[in-house]
Amino acid sequence: MNNWPYRPLSDFLIECEGRFKPNDPKIASYKRLDKIDFSGKIHISEKPSKTDMIIIEPGDLVISGINVAKGALAVYDGDEPVTATIHYSSYRFNKNKIDIEFLKRFLKSPAFISELQDQVKGGIKTEIKPKHLLPLKARIPELAEQQKINHYFDAIDNEISDLSSEVNTQSSYLTKLRQAILQEAIEGKLTVDWRKENPVRKGDPDYDAEALLEKIQAEKEALAKDAKRAKKQKPLPPIKQEEVPFELPEGWVWTRLGDVGCTQTGTTPSTTEKANFGNYIPFIKPADIANDRIDYDNEGLSEKGLKSGRLIEKNSVLMVCIGGSIGKCFFTIRDVSCNQQINAISPHANIEILFLLNSLQSSYFYREVWDRAMKSSTPIINKGKWETIPIPIPPIAEQQAIVDRVEKHLTMVDELEKQVTERKEQSEQLMQAVLREAFEGGK
């Protein structure tokens, strides 16, 4: 433990007092401090407040009583005074006793959090006000040593900043690599060697996609004859040459999404009837879908509710079709129902579900979804537009070969992403270790 003296923070901090009603003429012309983010940046707003206010002068240290331990503190460097709600406090500081950069770092350190927990009833869960902060005692060195520590921190900050920048760059590269793998998959570039060993066999759906589509069409026609299982579906228009975005390998074909499976849009049973909801079947909403999983453990429907909803069979792909997360998709590993913000496709038996997922997660399909989405403040693509998007289809055997190669490549990307995440965590741990060493060990 260091031998710095224990001193109350009131030794070098003086509270700026004064409390004003929101409609007080004295503060009527002042802008308002909206928030201090965890990086220490102050955001200013002109919105009025209904809460009592304080005045912050240029040069004051401003602290968020709620998030001080997370870094929500800063020195206000504006030219004119501003107001802030009473959830903030402001202080003038004695420059002969405290280096403000040292103090800002200390207030984000494990040592400060430890002192809060020891000396303030309620610890960091309490909104920290001047009455808590100013009497709080901490080990603070003399000004010259504070400045030495700051120089040390500046060097560490630069190293961590460089590391974080490198990690972010690597993460961006891996995202692009993942997209490139999926795009090459649906263009047939991952299976060039496979096709050399497995040439097209006309009429064989395993090695000829035209024969595969004919087989799917025959199965659909046979299904339509079964009155109990028949589903009305308007024929989709043929694909025009100008709709084709890239050339396909021999043995592949372009078709519309709706031609390779049964498409649906979800619906929500009446929420006024509690009996519609239960644990009979998962009820999926956009927030439950990510590009690597579906969360089945949130809301569910009862057996009664499913009768008013839509059954989406196991091994279907669900895609968010509205809002900022439009395009997110993954496949189901169990029967589910979903709400009207999701489009679903249950592929026919001869379409490999993982190949279909790769297609729908490709950058090509993502762009097509956004291009077809209604342009408004809330983008949306309905089922009718969604199911007409052209997709490339390889023969059955090549679909499986593609899935195998994509899995192999993405496993490597996953491992690299894991390493990048670990490096990011290490950089964060390094800063915490440096803070702990500087303020607790006195090194």
Question: Are both 6-140 and 201-394 of the same fold?
Answer: yes
pLDDT beneath 50, residues of the chain: 1, 227, 229-230, 443
The residues, ordered by sequence, that sit 6+ positions from 114 with a Cβ below 8 Å of its Cβ are 440
d(CA 40, CA 54) in angstroms, rounded, equals 19
d(CA 223, CA 349) in angstroms, rounded, equals 12
Q: How many CB atoms lie within 10 A of CB 342?
A: 26
Alpha helices in 107-208 (DSSP H): 110-119, 130-133, 143-186, 192-197
The residues, ordered by sequence, that sit 6+ positions from 122 with a Cβ below 8 Å of its Cβ are none
CA 149 to chain centre: 36
CATH T-level assignment (fold) for domain 201-394: Adenine-n6-DNA-methyltransferase TaqI; Chain A, domain 2 (3.90.220)
Tokens 């909801």 found at: 277
Q: Which two tokens stand for residue 137?
A: 């005692």
Q: Is 67 helix (H, G, I), strand (E, B) or coil?
A: coil
Q: Report the number of secondary-structure helices (H) and strands (E) in the chain.
A: 11, 21
Q: Measuring CA to CA, how many Å separate 421 from each of 70, 291, 416, 417?
A: 21, 18, 9, 6
What was the pLDDT predicted at 139?
A: 85
CA 219 to chain centre: 41
Domain boundaries, the chain: 6-140, 142-192+398-443, 201-394
Of 210, 272, 259, nearest to 396 by C-alpha is 210
Strands 337-338 and 277-284: parallel
d(CA 144, CA 232) in angstroms, rounded, equals 82
Dihedral angle over CA of 426, 427, 428, 431, nearest 10: 120
Of 236, 239, 204, 240, nearest to 220 by C-alpha is 236
Of 236, 295, 238, nearest to 262 by C-alpha is 236
d(CA 107, CA 112) in angstroms, rounded, equals 6
What was the pLDDT predicted at 1?
A: 45
Of 412, 410, 417, 421, nearest to 180 by C-alpha is 410
Dihedral angle over CA of 190, 193, 197, 200, nearest 10: 50
Tokens 């894991």 found at: 418
Each residue's pLDDT tens digit, 334-385:
999 999 999 999 999 889 999 999 999 999 999 999 999 987 778 999 999 9
What was the pLDDT predicted at 440?
A: 64
Q: Does CATH number 3.90.220.20 belong to domain 6-140? A: yes
- Lateral strand order in the sheet of 300-301: 300-301, 277-284, 337-338
